[in-house]
Structure 1
């Protein structure tokens, strides 16, 4: 949410939608901000990666979010919106597998064509 708000200009919009979709709880955060460049989209979940000015961000927010989602056996993906901004989609299973099972290899980020 904080990143979406920071990337959205004054008067812009950030929408949060939730739903149950089959075996998943889905949380979508969509903004109409500046978006994410080709050069940065593959790095956004890396620890300490940030495009914010010095003193504004630590580069840990998305990295921590990614880890939390993985610990809950879910996925997190980002897609560019047609007009502006991006949408983050978080999917958490409604009935997780064995709590000791981790999904370490789950997709970090997916970009729609």
Structure 2
């Protein structure tokens, strides 16, 4: 996951306006994702949690309203899908569903 955090940071700095992922037809730009991860990293670090928690919280906070009403397991599956998509250039090595539930 650390590699994915570095990738999110790099893409957010170098291509902030490009689409990182889409949920329910709504695009999330790399720059927006990077800034949200940074904001959550400050919060979760104070609580003694990892960067994985920051990425998970950032993704959950960026889910559009059309997705939000889903049950927690469904939201976790969407986060896992997003992690897989974001990490697709890393040979498929991403967080698993169990790491975000």
Taking structure 2 as the reference length, the TM-score comes to 0.32
Query: Of the two, which has the highest radius of gyration?
Result: 1
> Which structure features the higher share of helix residues?
2
> Which structure features the higher share of strand residues?
1
